[in-house]
Chain A
Amino acid sequence: MQFMLLFSRQGKLRLQKWYVPLSDKEKKKITRELVQTVLARKPKMCSFLEWRDLKIVYKRYASLYFCCAVEDQDNELITLEIIHRYVELLDKYFGSVCELDIIFNFEKAYFILDEFLLGGEVQETSKKNVLKAIEQADLLQEPRHEYFNVPVY
């Protein structure tokens, strides 16, 4: 995988994970163009499109678009499964996740993603293991909120 972007229906970026080295300017340009392209797609269209020399796999969950750029030899259908697994993980962690959770806890979204994918590849296929790892890490965080053992910034 080359990168993953999460954005709202208004085109606001909620998460950007880049697995290839690009300048800030290039990232902004790609993001802008891709967001525009995906938002222009009609609801009945399929989840795959060709963009530049990449394959784009995207899926909308409620008000958020999950968009991945994969290479030519990558399997689009399994990429859909990767997106779905990530959504499931977020859902399990936040309890019925919604866009606001991702906005207010964006750093958590990154931490969870980083336990599922590494360097653009799947590192852990067990949901249980991923969530356990996040829990462990959360426990190590200091300081803690007074009443809930949840790290607070």
Chain B
Amino acid sequence: MMTPSLKLQDLIEEIRGAKTQAQEREVIHKECAHIRASFRDGDPLHRHRQLAKLLYVHMLGYPAHFGQMECLKLIASPRFSDKRVGYLGAMLLLDERQDAHLLITNSIKNDLNQGIQPVQGLALCTLSTMGSAEMCRDLATEVEKLLLQPSPYVRKKAVLTAVHMIRKVPELSNIFLPPCAQLLHERHHGILLGTITLITELCERSPAALGHFRKVVPQLVQILRTLVTSGYSTEHSVSGVSDPFLQVQILRLLRILGRNHEESSETMNDLLAQVATNTETSRNAGNAVLFETVLTIMDIHSAAGLRVLAVNILGRFLLNSDKNIRYVALTSLLRLVQSDHSAVQRHRPTVVECLQEPDASLSRRALELSLALVNSSNVRAMTQELQGFLKSCPPDLRADCASGILLAAERFAPTKRWHIDTILRVLTTAGTHVRDDAVANLIQLIGGAQELHAYSVRRLYSALAEDISQQPLVQVAAWCIGEYGDLLLEGSCEEIEPLQVEEEEVLALLEKVLQSHMSLPATRGYAFTALMKLSTRFHGDNNRIRQVVSIYGSCLDVELQQRAVEYNTLFRKYDHMRAAVLEKMPLVERDGPLVIEEAEESKEAQLSEATPIPTEPQTSKLLDLLDLLDDDTEDAQHLAPRDPSPEGALGHLLNLPCHPPALYQTLPPIPNLQVFEREGLQLNLSFVRPSEIPALLLITATATNSSGSDVTHFVCQAAVPKSFQLQLQAPSGDTVPAQGGLPITQLLRILNPNKAPLRLKLRLTYNHFGQSVQEIFEVNNLPLETWQ
């Protein structure tokens, strides 16, 4: 005895009664087994019930493909209940990917042709929901016939089915275009709405159709006008607006027809103005129509006054308490800000207020719009607002806001100082969110504003002293302090309060950055280099700096270690070059890397000493150094491959190649020699012989002053035997300050191709203790290694 199958509602109850997911699965599996059996056995009486149940479990996410064939059977049945569920099943379970779907084509055809309207309705509905291209081709003529049927119920569905068919098979436009003219005379709203939709679809697909339908613009205008001026209708009014659905559809079609067409646009101008001013705005329905009107006005060739009216409507939308209205207003204004900039500008204060929206999608749009509205006259005020927003905005908007402010500042900065201040504030507020090139940009900006060096370095120093966690800020500050450390010590700067800063404080701060776990490797690189630069900017004895430099020689970070070794070498063996190498940077060009690469090569060339260097090492024009050295390229090849520096091009400049120590390591170091001493003034010589060029001897003469009086106008000259070649480079200076002030260094290059014994005569002239002194002497006790 077969158990009677569950009624649909009973099954639903049972499923909902299940306490756990497992229980639900059990109930469903059991029932599906029954349903499967029932399908196999072919129970026509209950088939529609079985399918309905199956559709329910399908919605819960369970497989129901075995019901597909049943849909076909039900659709073919003469009973309406069967057809209703069968067609629903087809729409839910069948789609164009399954071959089975084509099997219902015939049933649909039959149902379209028989006279019962609800049945025709079902067929049309299904066809327009899941009809594939083949089905549409097969059934196009049936649908065309139905367009002319007397029943509005069927006709309205036929029209929309035609829309679907054209979407699937654009060629069918040929069939469905002709009836449109007549359909447009319909009074039935449903048919009219469908027709407008159909015409819209046709025009969007074919410029020919677009041209053809332009002639109905007056008719459309008339229809809309009638709608707008007609009174309340119980059937079609929504919140005091006559059939807003139809109005919106007509407005959309008018937009398409009026676009880029002067004549059509003119025909609709008055009507659009009428709709814009007369539509009820208290409820969403009216605002929906108003919104569509605005979109149409902005897209066609409308009169200027009308455009302003449209933008003002949007401005009013911005003040609406309904946030959905505000949303569409912001979105539309964003689209208009380029084409109608001054009209949108008028609503700037309202837009800025929208930044405070709690809804992130609104505040995001308000931000985009605000940034688009910044111009040279409002940049100060706007930046103020945006900076305020930056402080409190949601994290995902921070990056955009920060970049937006920086971009606006770059385009419209009234003064360089304001620009620097603005960037500073952005870095302080949202440092972690700025783009990578913000650091480079700021450095370039500061570098180029010479009059603001003192100001910048002070501001940055104060900011850094307060907070060393914001990496971009720390990087810029470190760079600045390194470059302009001398200005920092000077004490007074007219633009901000005097700040008394001691050398030790500055060094301590940089060391703090260096050691902080918050500092990125790039940041530490900046700080380290800055420390090194200060060795020439400050007047102390550099012991502290030298200490740090030597400690980091064994740092685990390879980049830092390399720098430390190089700087160390700079202190020890190339001290005479230190001032030159570390002097103030020239302004980096915006396409900087090219210049820097060339400068790097020149530095390498300088140190490899293959050929005479005619220019002074102190030259401030980097490009001049490119004139030297035929061996440039050769030297470059000798170099160890360089790892790209993480912080960007600027770091490379001071990346001294690290191979010189390697080159010279093969020879034991030659001991230094003190050759002169008088009243505290000492002259020491240090010697280097590059292993690659045995005939070459490099002598560094260092003059130090431990007396209480400065040595000034110091000049050192040298002479060697005829077989030697001597070249004297320019000294680092001509003054040695008292009490161990900065020494003078000078490089002597001696070529000894014959390996003759070296003899050296020196002549010194200088002023000391108010007296001019001249000393001539031969250097005795020159170590053998200097020429052997």
Contact = CB atoms under 8 A, between A and B. Distances in A.
Interface in B155-189: 156-157, 160-161, 163-164, 189
Contacts of A107: 52, 55, 84-85, 88
Contacts of B160: 118-119, 121, 123
B422 to A, nearest CB: 31
Given A13-B60, A151-B81, A48 B324 contact: yes
B56 A106 contact: yes
A126 B190 contact: yes
Interface in B1-45: 7-9, 12, 16
B235 A126 contact: yes
A133 interface: yes
B575 interface: no
Main secondary structure of the interface of A (DSSP, over half): mixed
A18 B164 CA distance: 13
B163 A121 contact: yes
A47 B8 CA distance: 35
A80 B284 contact: yes
A115 B252 CA distance: 23
Contact of B95 (A21, A80, A152): A21
B80 A153 contact: no
B118 A136 contact: yes
Contact of B327 (A46, A110, A126, A151): A46
B324 A77 contact: yes
B129 A19 contact: yes
B556 interface: no
A107 to B, nearest CB: 6
A36 interface: no
B193 A122 contact: yes
Interface stretch (A62-70, A90-98, A137-145): A137-145
Nearest to A55: B331
A48 B288 CA distance: 14
B420 interface: no
Contact of B361 (A48, A78, A111): A48
A106 to B, nearest CB: 6
Interface in B67-110: 79-81, 84-85, 88, 92, 95-97
Interface centre among A15, A107, A128 (most CB of B within 10 A): A107
Chain B's interface size range is 35 or more
A125 B189 contact: yes
A49 interface: yes
Contacts of B96: 21
B86 to A, nearest CB: 12
Given A121-B163, A121-B197, A122-B245, A45 B190 contact: no
Nearest to B12: A104
A81 B324 contact: no
A143 B80 CA distance: 10
A133 B96 CA distance: 28
A152 B52 CA distance: 11
B190 A49 contact: no
B88 A152 contact: no
Contact of B97 (A15, A21, A126, A140): A21
Nearest to B64: A24
Contacts of A47: 324
A121 B197 CA distance: 8
A60 interface: no
Nearest to A49: B361
Interface in B105-147: 116-118, 121, 124-125, 128-130, 132
A76 B81 CA distance: 36
Contact of A119 (B164, B193, B235, B327): B164
Contacts of A124: 156, 189-190
Interface centre among B7, B16, B197 (most CB of A within 10 A): B197
Contacts of B156: 123-124
Interface stretch (B214-222, B236-244, B392-400, B604-612): B236-244
A10 interface: no
A127 interface: yes
Contacts of A16: 59, 92
B246 A125 contact: yes
A141 B60 CA distance: 26
A143 B7 CA distance: 13
A34 B126 CA distance: 25
Interface in B614-647: none
B49 interface: yes
B163 A119 contact: yes
A75 B81 contact: no
B235 to A, nearest CB: 5
A152 B49 CA distance: 9
A82 to B, nearest CB: 8
B194 A123 contact: yes
Contacts of B324: 46-48, 76-77, 80
Nearest to B93: A24
A153 B246 contact: no
Interface string A100-136: 0001101100110011001101111111110001001
Interface in B239-283: 243-246, 248-249, 252
B579 interface: no
Contacts of B362: 46
Interface centre among A76, A123, A129 (most CB of B within 10 A): A123
Nearest to B116: A140
Interface centre among A129, A143, A152 (most CB of B within 10 A): A129
Contacts of A75: 248, 252, 288, 291-292, 295
Contacts of B385: none
B153 interface: yes
Given A13-B59, A114-B125, A153-B48, A125 B288 contact: no
A125 B245 contact: yes
B287 interface: yes
Interface in B356-375: 358-362
B80 A142 contact: yes
A125 B190 contact: yes
A119 B190 contact: no
B84 A123 contact: no
B668 to A, nearest CB: 72
B488 interface: no
A115 B388 CA distance: 52
Contact of A81 (B95, B121, B284): B284
Contacts of B323: 44-46
B285 interface: yes
A13 B287 CA distance: 31
B194 to A, nearest CB: 6
Nearest to B61: A28
A118 B124 contact: yes
Contacts of A28: 61
A23 B118 contact: no
Given A46-B327, A77-B288, A142-B80, A133 B359 contact: no
Given A14-B59, A76-B327, 18 more contacts: A23-B95, A44-B358, A46-B324, A46-B361, A75-B252, A75-B288, A80-B288, A80-B324, A81-B238, A81-B245, A104-B12, A119-B128, A119-B163, A123-B190, A124-B190, A133-B153, A141-B81, A151-B81
12 contacts: A46-B326, A46-B361, A50-B361, A78-B245, A81-B288, A107-B55, A125-B236, A129-B153, A133-B118, A140-B116, A141-B80, A153-B7
Pick the 5 closest A-B CB pairs, nearest first: A77-B288, A119-B128, A119-B164, A153-B8, A140-B80
Interface of B: 7-9, 12, 16, 48-49, 52, 55-56, 59-61, 79-81, 84-85, 88, 92, 95-97, 116-118, 121, 124-125, 128-130, 132, 153, 156-157, 160-161, 163-164, 189-190, 193-194, 197, 235-236, 238, 243-246, 248-249, 252, 284-285, 287-288, 291-292, 295, 323-328, 358-362
